[in-house]
Amino acid sequence: MALTEQVQPAEIRLHGHRVSYRIGGSGPLLVLVHGITSSSQNWEPVLPLLAERFTVVAPDLLGHGASAKPQGDYSLGAYACLVRDLLLALGHERATIVGHSLGGGAAMQFSYQFPERVERLVLVSSGGLGQDVHPLLRAAALPASEFVLPLITARPLRDAGAAVGHLLGRVGLTVGSDLGEMARGLASLADLSARQAFVHTVRAVIDPTGQRVDATDRLYLAETVPTLLIWGGRDRIIPAAHGAHAQALMPGSRLEVFDQAGHFPHHDEPVRFFAAVRDFMETTEPAAVDLERIRELVLEHGRIAEITAAA
């Protein structure tokens, strides 16, 4: 597990559960939230770059990485609360929240639940912005998938790299960061508690038809929060069209598509990713919390919805 001098591992107990995280750097605070079957290790390609300009905190969400994997709530709301509690414990009031894939959904939920704690949002190949998602994740939401996962994650199959590569290639994943990270994710599910947490997490946001949690009905609230969307043009897990649609619904937001990248643009083009985040941080001001404006937006959107329904 490669770490830099600027970023080091740490551990804390929250509500009786072990939470592992990485922390380091100096400057404005970035909280990096990984995706499903992943961990803070997912950010390694960009951690050294980000830590040169920012303070970074990258947790292993419960059920992932070195954090505890209890029987409990694995919803986006629970993950948002975990991030809030970690920030409180570390003495931070506000942060820019960077979320990848499932972590993007958690970042949006964090912003919705705790607007006073969000300075900016960076959504990377984010979930929660449309129904489409790769068939492998839809299959994981099927009944009895927990009984199939031990066969998929068995050591002989995981060790047969060429066979796994051929299998994933047949379902649309290409050799590169997507394949490597998917293989790493499969390996993490060899542990029973990790498999159980994975199934609970998947079923909280996905069903056999696709993503069932959709934040697009409240993206108008993003008017109050500077938002950057980063996507890979070759993303086969969550299509880049979700990012374009979301950007159109988020007043003042920015979208950067890395044409040659897949679902992990921060792996495929880490220097470009860092440059995009740095420019975004330097050219935007932290959100000014205005609960009255949020109230006005909610009421206004409700009236528009009523008029549309009546028509």
pLDDT of 264 higher than 90: yes
Lowest mean pLDDT among 24-33, 40-49, 151-160, 242-251: 151-160
Domains of the chain (ranges, CATH numbers): 7-133+212-310 (3.40.50.1820)
Question: What beta strand segments (E) does the chain contain?
Answer: 7-14, 17-25, 29-33, 55-59, 95-100, 118-124, 206-207, 210-211, 227-232, 254-258
Catalytic residues: 101, 235, 263
Pairing of strands 210-211, 206-207: antiparallel
- The torsion angle over the Cα atoms of residues 139, 126, 231 and 141, rounded to 10 degrees, is 0
Per-residue confidence band for 85, with pLDDT thresholds at 50, 70 and 90 = very high
- Which whole number is the average pLDDT over 113-117? 93
Give the pLDDT confidence of 142-197 residue by residue, as tens digits. Answer: 675 655 555 455 554 444 444 445 555 554 555 466 767 776 777 777 778 888 88
Q: What is the amino acid identity at position 14?
A: L
| Residue bearing the bigger pLDDT, 203 or 301 | 203
Instruction: Please calculate the CA angle 119-124-128 and round it to the nearest 5 degrees.
Output: 90
Lowest mean pLDDT among 41-55, 206-220, 223-237: 206-220
- Which whole number is the average pLDDT over 280-295? 88
- The torsion angle over the Cα atoms of residues 107, 109, 111 and 115, rounded to 10 degrees, is -150
Q: Give pTM, 2 decimals.
A: 0.87
pLDDT of 119 higher than 90: yes
Per DSSP, the three-state class of 81 is: helix
Kindly give, in sequence order, each residue whose CB lies less than 8 Å from that of residue 142, ignoring residues fewer than 6 positions away: 208
